[in-house]
Structure 1
Amino acid sequence: MEGYTGFDRMPIAGEWRAGRAGRTRQDTDPYSGEVLLEIPQANADDLDEAYRAAREAQPKWAARPAFERARVLERAARILADREEELAGWLCREAGATRPRAGLELSLVQAVTRMAAEQADRISTFQAVGSDLPDKENRVYRRPAGVVAVISPWNFPVQLSNRSVAPALALGNAVVLKPAGDTPVTGGLFLARVYEEAGLPPGLLSVVVGAGRDIGDAIVEHDIPRVVSFTGSTPVGEGIAAKAGLKRLALELGGNGPLVVLDDADLDRAVPAALFGSYVHQGQVCMATNRVIVDAALHDAFVERFTAGAAALRHGDPGEEGTQIGPVINASQLDSIRDKVSRSVADGAELVLGGEPDGPAGQVLPPHVLLGGNTVTTAAEEVFGPVATIIRAQDEEHALRLANDTPYGLSSAVCTRDEDRGLRFALRVEAGMTHVNDTTVHDDAHSAFGGEKDSGLGRFGGEWAVDEFTTHHWISFQHAARDYPY
């Protein structure tokens, strides 16, 4: 099987071509600094062409029998499995993913695509609704929303694009996808090749790779898309909400995930969960364990074991077997992480594990561990790097207050030997997800991804995707003549 090529072009309105912005952007390997390719960027005219083609193609796609749409998604899932090694290589080179991290993402991508195939018939059925009028029948049908705009980030680029693209297509929509500038191939262009090979008709999926100043506002403000699906930072999400008008929004935004270790927790389970949540993909995960809140009874023992575990993590070339921490995505992100660590230490946090960045491009940051309060910078702000802040809690109630003392509410976790106690605690956490005796970074394709407070609107994944990408149409039948009041 030959590898995909032609990623210096993008699929716009059914044709792979260069963007018309008159500028190119280099796609670079964050570990080696190697330029992987240069992509001529798209502009607002390219975006408009993509939207118009999507609007034209969508009704015919929605009218196809559900099994035909499902068949395309099923083929796409098989292609993703067949090309797993090829796509994993792109994730290592473009996103800095280690091999195990790439494998985790690709297993989710395949599962989400298969799940989407199973949902294709949800616009073919109806729900009967009772009536208080004689001889009246009410039905509620699901219909495709129409054209969906998807804006995805660089950290889990394939999954965070496809978890919207796959169900949207399966349910009869067309999609215009804008991947992050750091990951244009894994975030969109590779997926477009997969769906093309799977038999998706032209025009239903366009990928526009362009600068925010050229297409960032236009992709949201354009009058054609009916749904905007965005995963990224809270400030950008707030800007989208202000510009989108009356469109439906599905926004998964920033996080500040607390993992709470109660006084009866099993440290043999809690420490590995916290290590994985803190350092998977260099901590560049919206559901990452940003804070580890540990009851005073276990705090010192936890710190000793956690710090030793973090120090043992191997950092370096993400393409090498055994590497657990690869490069930070770019120099700007690295500077932001180091600034937050410096400010935390200045605020009184104790840096018990750290190190200087290394690697050919100087972007591999070793794991960092800080001890501090809930107000130091690395605890109060989303770090998005290989940094863990451990916070001492006086007791369970204090731990809960600390966990909830954040404007974010995406993912969280609690560790305890008593599952009933864990459930009671979880129900009081202000977050979209709380995992008992697990990490904050969840890897179940059926999960409802979404948050509370400043972490977003809407739900992603599983059954909830059907609600995001369909509308309801009420149809009633009056089966016999009736007397009207006038």
Structure 2
Amino acid sequence: MSEQKKLYINGEWVEGVSYQKLYSPYDHEEIAEIPLASEEQVLSAIASAECAKKTMKSLSAYERSQILNRVADLFEVYKEECAQILASENAKPIKAARGEIVRTIETYRFAADEAKRIHGELVPLGAAQNGKGRFGYTKHEPLGVIAAITPFNFPFNLTAHKLGPAFAAGNTVVLKPASQTPLSGYMTARIFEEAGLPKGALNVITGKGGLIGDLLVKDDRVKMVTFTGSVPVGKSIREKAGLKKVTLELGSNSGVIVDSTDDLEAVVARCVEGAFTFAGQVCISIQRIYVKSSLYERFLESFVNKAKSLKLGNPKDENTDVSALINASETERIEAWLKEAKEQGATIAFGGEKQGTVLGPTIITGASNNLAVNCKEAFGPIVTIEPYEELEEAIEKVNDSEYGLQAGIYTTEIKKAFTAADELEVGGVIINDIPSFRVDNMPYGGVKNSGTGREGVKYSTEEMTELKFISFKL
């Protein structure tokens, strides 16, 4: 019998009112029994966060920084255990899982630093006609209770991107992890508990997304909702949240332009990595590649050869590159998209087949922009590759999307690099690298249906504060 997990409310590990089994996406092995929180338990979690907000606000910047640094230290200690959790609950290949924990540690280190950098500014009131004899300044204060709703694909690091800035700013948090990746949420709570976070400052609740999400989003005690996930859920949160702050990271179908390069093989290798890492289940995974026509045939041939070399299989195998998608329905959806593409005249240049529960890397050519494989978010191991003649044509194709998170361009011409930087309709333009590039202190977020607000520790911390103005009449 698998271990029965508990909710984390007000610094205590609490049994759920009922439980459901959690299975591995790869081999369907039972991993754990997950508690389903009742409405009363969700409200209790909010109440405990509300009660703890005075304690968190009273901590000095140094004390908050120390807690976050201890969290980073403990992730170092539990690095392998955390990586194994990822391999079990979301089938992330173990070498990629270890990479996520390294980034998680770095994210908490950035947050620890940011806790010491929160400051206001002097306002020169004397510059105004009636400001003589007055002194003014601003300060950043914590919002209070923040609801964090996290996705399955980077459950440790994307949680760190919400908890780290929240605690750096002195807030409290109710965390709702994705239903397939609750174990990472419990492990995070365990680490914060060991690091000495005040009781009630972090609460972790699992269960039915609709029930928990609605309670968190609508409760007046919650002052901000930070969400990473699908567009429909993000729009629903925005509609229900009222006047509370909302940050939404809703995904993309990222494009990269290959215009010119001194090392085509290196570009191909990076693009294969960007398309198929974690089976494409990355918000900034490469989904569309537009290649200068003079390079197209060489690029495609090399890309197919490198994709063929990827190893499919068990995520706990040290050599595995691609494993199972998060659930069978996602595989079925992508198979339906591939069928549609073939019926509409596209060519499957490589892949499109399953090995057990693993859908192999798939390369598509000749796909029109209105096909699902191009215009929707795949979140799977598929990529389309198309030639173009002029840069403007490629930029137009990248922009022909309801999404706009990040895009990339490879070019040896500085003028083209600046043209792309100005004309690509995205939140981030990555020049001479893939759009999947992200480090955890850069601003990260999109336009259009890719969401609102920015993550990246400094930027999240600012969004998780309220600016207060103070004036003295001298």
Q: Work out whether the TM-score is over 0.5.
A: yes
SS for the counterpart of 1:293 is strand
Instruction: Spell out the pairing of 1:405-420 with structure 2 (5 A cutoff).
Output: 405-420=400-415
Q: Is 1:128 paired with 2:126?
A: no
SS for the counterpart of 2:329 is helix
2:358 maps to which of 353, 357, 364 = 364
Moved more, 264-273 or 44-53: 264-273
2:166 maps to which of 165, 168, 171 = 168
Moved more, 376-385 or 397-406: 376-385
Instruction: Spell out the pairing of 1:147-226 with structure 2 (5 A cutoff).
Output: 147-186=145-184, 188-226=185-223
Deviation at 1:420, TM superposition (A): 4.7
SS for the counterpart of 1:134 is coil
Instruction: Spell out the pairing of 1:282-301 with structure 2 (5 A cutoff).
Output: 282-301=279-298
Counterpart CA distance in 2 for 1:103 and 1:373 is 37
Aligned amino acid, residue 430 of structure 2: H
Aligned residue for 1:31? Answer: 26
Aligned residue for 1:64? Answer: 59
Aligned residue for 1:447? Answer: 442
Aligned residue for 1:256? Answer: 253
Instruction: Spell out the pairing of 1:430-445 with structure 2 (5 A cutoff).
Output: 430-445=425-440
Counterpart CA distance in 1 for 2:307 and 2:368 is 20
Counterpart CA distance in 1 for 2:9 and 2:46 is 9
Aligned residue for 1:473? Answer: 468
Deviation at 1:300, TM superposition (A): 1.2
Aligned amino acid, residue 241 of structure 1: R
Deviation at 1:213, TM superposition (A): 3.4
Aligned residue for 1:350? Answer: 347
Deviations 1:201-237 (A, max 9, x none): 1110000101123222112111111110000011110
Q: Is 1:40 paired with 2:35?
A: yes
Aligned amino acid, residue 445 of structure 1: D
Aligned amino acid, residue 74 of structure 1: N
Aligned residue for 1:246? Answer: 243
Q: 1:7, 1:185 within 8 Å by CA — same for their partners in 2?
A: no
Moved more, 59-68 or 171-180: 59-68
Q: 2:290, 2:386 within 8 Å by CA — same for their partners in 1?
A: yes
Aligned residue for 2:393? Answer: 398
Q: 1:263, 1:297 within 8 Å by CA — same for their partners in 2?
A: no
Aligned residue for 2:305? Answer: 308
Show structure 2 runs of 5+ residues with no match: none
Q: 2:260, 2:412 within 8 Å by CA — same for their partners in 1?
A: no
Deviation at 1:263, TM superposition (A): 4.2
Counterpart CA distance in 2 for 1:87 and 1:409 is 32
Aligned amino acid, residue 172 of structure 1: G
Deviations 1:109-140 (A, max 9, x none): 111101111121345x3310111211111101
Q: 1:77, 1:114 within 8 Å by CA — same for their partners in 2?
A: yes
Counterpart CA distance in 1 for 2:438 and 2:191 is 23
Counterpart CA distance in 1 for 2:426 and 2:4 is 39
Q: 1:423, 1:436 within 8 Å by CA — same for their partners in 2?
A: no
Moved more, 370-379 or 242-251: 370-379
Q: 2:255, 2:290 within 8 Å by CA — same for their partners in 1?
A: yes
Aligned amino acid, residue 79 of structure 2: E
Counterpart CA distance in 1 for 2:442 and 2:415 is 21
Deviation at 1:58, TM superposition (A): 1.0
Moved more, 418-427 or 288-297: 418-427
1:266 maps to which of 263, 271, 274 = 263
Deviation at 1:7, TM superposition (A): 6.2
Counterpart CA distance in 2 for 1:394 and 1:421 is 14
Aligned residue for 1:383? Answer: 378
Deviations 1:214-273 (A, max 9, x none): 222112111111110000011110111011111101100020100111145631232112
Q: Is 1:145 paired with 2:139?
A: no
CA RMSD of aligned residues (A): 1.5
Moved more, 414-423 or 237-246: 414-423
Moved more, 108-117 or 366-375: 366-375
Distance 1:419 1:108, change over 3 A: farther
Counterpart CA distance in 1 for 2:233 and 2:292 is 35
Show structure 1 runs of 5+ residues with no match: 480-486
Counting matched residue pairs gives: 468
Aligned residue for 1:326? Answer: 323
SS for the counterpart of 1:272 is helix
Counterpart CA distance in 2 for 1:213 and 1:117 is 33
Q: Is 1:373 paired with 2:372?
A: no
SS for the counterpart of 1:298 is helix
Deviations 1:324-378 (A, max 9, x none): 101111111111111111111112110011143223xxx2111111002322221
- Percent of aligned pairs sharing the same letter: 35
